[in-house]
C-alpha cells in the first residue's frame, strides 16, 4: 500500500493546518470570558481627610505688605458687616494707599493672657480667672492661647493650647504677691506671641494697679507694641486704687491699646469683668482685615502713621473705624 506523503502534497498539508486552526478557535470560543475585576470601592465618607484649616486664614505676606485689623462700629458700638473696598480709605503718613486685600471673617488668633499677679489681686483671683475662661470659651474654638502672670517678676504658666482644662489649671496656679511690673511683662508677652502659629495675634492684659517696678518705661513699652503686629486689649480693675494712681494706670492702658488698634475697658465692679471679657472676645471675632503695599518704598526703620477712614453706605448713619496708629518700617542694614 502506498503511503501518502504530506510533504510531497502541499495542498493536503495546508488543508490540515486550516482544520487545526478552526478546531482551536472553536475551543476558545466555548470558554466563558473572564470577568473584569470590579473597581475599588471609594473610602467611606467619614474617613475622607478634612482640608487644612490654616489655608483659609492666611494672607500670603511679603516683607512689604502692611496688614491691618480694623474694628468698624456704628453709633451704638455695634459691628458693621458687609462693607466693601470702596467704603475704606487707608492713609499712611497722610498719603492714601491702594488696598490690595480686604476680608471680613472670623479668623482664629494666637492669644496671650497676661494676668496681674500682684498682692492686690488676691481677692479678685476667682472672678478674674472665671472671666479669662469665659473669654477663651467665647473666642474662636481654633484659637491658641498661652497664659502668663506678672508681679515684679514674670511667670510663664502655659504654652499655646486651646484646651480649656489646661488653661484653667494655669490660671489657678498663680499666688498673688509683691508689686506690679506691667511694662516689662507686656514686652516679654509680645515677644512670646511671635512664636504663635496663627497670623493674627492678640494680647489681653488684666491688671488692677499702676506699674511701680518695671525696668522699662511706658514709652519703651509703647515702641515695643508698635513694632509688634499684635492687638492689645486691657481690662483695668481700678476702682479700689487711689484716684491719681488709677488715672495714671488708665492712661497707660489706653495708650498701649490704642496704639495697636485694641481697646481698654474699665468695669465699674468685679462682677462686670466676665461681661467685659465677653465683649472683647466678640470684638476680636468681628473685624475687617485689609492689606496694602505702601507707596513709600524706603526701608529705613522709620515710624509711619496710619489712619483708616470709612465712607458709610447710604442710610447707614455714623460709622467709625479703629486700627493701629502706626508701624515701624522694615530696616535694611547697611551691609545688605
pLDDT above 70 (res 60): no
Q: Closest by alpha carbon to 129, among 209, 58, 206, 54?
A: 206
| DSSP β-bridge partners for residue 148 | 114, 156
Written out in words, the top-level CATH class of the domain with range 110-285 is alpha beta
Q: What is the pLDDT of residue 184?
A: 97
Please, what is the average pLDDT of the chain?
85
* Whether the predicted pLDDT of 248 surpasses 80: yes
As a whole number of angstroms, the distance between CA 162 and CA 142 comes to 7
Residue 320 has pLDDT above 50, yes or no: yes
**Average pLDDT over every residue of 310-326:** 94
Confidence at residue 335, expressed as pLDDT on a 0 to 100 scale: 54
Nearest Cα to Cα of residue 233 among 190, 193, 262, 265: 262
Every domain of the chain with CATH number 3.40.50.410 lies at: 110-285
User: Residue 25: is its pLDDT beyond 50?
Assistant: no
Higher pLDDT, 220 or 3: 220
Query: According to the 3-state scheme, what is the secondary structure of 141-209?
Result: CCCEEEEEEECCCEEEEEEEECCHHHHHHHHHCCCCCCCCCHHHHHHHHHHHHCCCCCCCEEEEEEECC
Locus of grid cell 465677653: 278
Mean local confidence (pLDDT), 221-229: 96
Q: pTM of the full predicted structure?
A: 0.81
* pLDDT score at 209: 84
Question: Average of pLDDT values for 185-210?
Answer: 96
Residues 6+ apart with CB under 8 A from 98: 292, 293, 295
Nearest to 261 by CA among 320, 325, 170: 325
Query: In this model, does residue 1 exceed pLDDT 50?
Result: no
Read off the pLDDT of each residue in 106-131 and give the average, rounded to a whole number: 95
Sign of CA dihedral 213, 264, 175, 124: positive
Amino acid 50: pLDDT = 32
Q: Is the pLDDT of residue 82 over 50?
A: yes
pLDDT of residue 49: 35
Amino acid at each position: 500500500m502506498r503511503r501518502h506523503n504530506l510533504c510531497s502534497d502541499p495542498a493536503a498539508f495546508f488543508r490540515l493546518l486550516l482544520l487545526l486552526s478552526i478546531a482551536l478557535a472553536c475551543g476558545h470560543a466555548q470558554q466563558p470570558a473572564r470577568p473584569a475585576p470590579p473597581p475599588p470601592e471609594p473610602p467611606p465618607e467619614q474617613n475622607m481627610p478634612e482640608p487644612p484649616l490654616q489655608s483659609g486664614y492666611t494672607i500670603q505676606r511679603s516683607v512689604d505688605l502692611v496688614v491691618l485689623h480694623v474694628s468698624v462700629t456704628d453709633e451704638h458700638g455695634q459691628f458693621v458687616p458687609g462693607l466693601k473696598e470702596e467704603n475704606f480709605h487707608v492713609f499712611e503718613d497722610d498719603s492714601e494707599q491702594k488696598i490690595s486685600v480686604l476680608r471680613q471673617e472670623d479668623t482664629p488668633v494666637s492669644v496671650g493672657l497676661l494676668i496681674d499677679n500682684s498682692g492686690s489681686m488676691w481677692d479678685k483671683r476667682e472672678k478674674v480667672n472665671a472671666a479669662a475662661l469665659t473669654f477663651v470659651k467665647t473666642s474662636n474654638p481654633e484659637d491658641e492661647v498661652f497664659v502668663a502672670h506678672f508681679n515684679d517678676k514674670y511667670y510663664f504658666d502655659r504654652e499655646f493650647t486651646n484646651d480649656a482644662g489646661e488653661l484653667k489649671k494655669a490660671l489657678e496656679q498663680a499666688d498673688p504677691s509683691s508689686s506690679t511690673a506691667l511694662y516689662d511683662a507686656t514686652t516679654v508677652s509680645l515677644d512670646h506671641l511671635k512664636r504663635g502659629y496663627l497670623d493674627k495675634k492678640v494680647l489681653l492684659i488684666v491688671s488692677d494697679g499702676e506699674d511701680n517696678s518695671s525696668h522699662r518705661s511706658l514709652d519703651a513699652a509703647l515702641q515695643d507694641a508698635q513694632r509688634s503686629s499684635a492687638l492689645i486689649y486691657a481690662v483695668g480693675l481700678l476702682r479700689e486704687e487711689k484716684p491719681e494712681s488709677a488715672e495714671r494706670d488708665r492712661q497707660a492702658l489706653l495708650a498701649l491699646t490704642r496704639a495697636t488698634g485694641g481697646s481698654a475697658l474699665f468695669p465699674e465692679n468685679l462682677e462686670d469683668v466676665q461681661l467685659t471679657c465677653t465683649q472683647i472676645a466678640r470684638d476680636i471675632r468681628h473685624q475687617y482685615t485689609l492689606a496694602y503695599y505702601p507707596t513709600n518704598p524706603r526701608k529705613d526703620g522709620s515710624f509711619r502713621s496710619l489712619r483708616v477712614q470709612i465712607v458709610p453706605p447710604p442710610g447707614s448713619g455714623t460709622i467709625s473705624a479703629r486700627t493701629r496708629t502706626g508701624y515701624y518700617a522694615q530696616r535694611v542694614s547697611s551691609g545688605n
